[in-house]
Structure 1
Amino acid sequence: MISMFHWLVDTGLDADVVFITNVRTPDDIISRQELLHISARLSSKLKLAIVPAAASPARPWHGPTGKLYEMLVRTFARDFNERETVCGLPGYTAVAKALLADMGSPWRNITMKALAAHRRLRPHPQQPKVHRQLSRRHHLWP
């Protein structure tokens, strides 16, 4: 998503994007500063909602918390019936699609863009330990 946001900034395309992202805690926000910077640059073209499932004792949070729920969608995407794409891991997109359908969004408007879940491959027994650590470090999805 971040690369698409950079593309919007670079092209100056007239866009209307609502990006609701759920994370476990505020500490789990990937590229937090970059997202905030892009959001400021895109201004009214991007409504950014970062929603942690729970607050973190280490980092105060003053925004909404919890999983994806109806009031959150209605708050950030009042025109959700006119929007078309849900993107994320298969479990998340299934929940989002069911929620939007329960809210009355026509099925034909919901296009799914499921991302492949990162699979941890079993390392070869002779593979150095460093490679196992690198695969964990590059795990991108919560």
Structure 2
Amino acid sequence: MLLVYFPIAGRGELARLIAKVGGIEDFSESTELPSGVTKAQCGSAGSVPILIDGDLKMNESSAIEIYLASIAPKYASLTPKQRAKDAQFCLLKETCCVGMATPLFEGKDKEKIQANADKYFPVLEEILPEDGFVNGLDYPTVADLAILN
């Protein structure tokens, strides 16, 4: 299994965390696609991350994260409700990333970044438990890793 992404956190970090914490052993990374594979074959118009797992070629960070969570040995016993909560946090992470990264990369608009933090962080804080992990288990699931990311 190969994750193609830059050597930064960004949209690839949660996939890395899921693979590591979730116990996916055959996970590797590269900044380049394998020879003969195009981004278009992976469903991408040019962006990364991309995941290749045998004949599965895919893009979109949240889709990659949800797939990895579905095959991670540590998360095999999660209920549909726990998986749904994990997926929710994956998508909330994307919303926050766009809200922070867009004004950062389009001119370092500090006021817009702060406005987005003020908009999204209270929502996240409202749905986090006072103590423990998001899904109430003794170990972190994808939702917790998304918050770490």
TM-score where L is the length of structure 1: 0.26
Task: State which structure, 1 or 2, has the greater radius of gyration over its C-alpha atoms.
Answer: 1
Richer in strand (by share) = 1
- Larger RCO: Structure 1 or Structure 2 (Cα < 8 Å, ≥ 6 residues apart)? 2
Richer in helix (by share) = 2
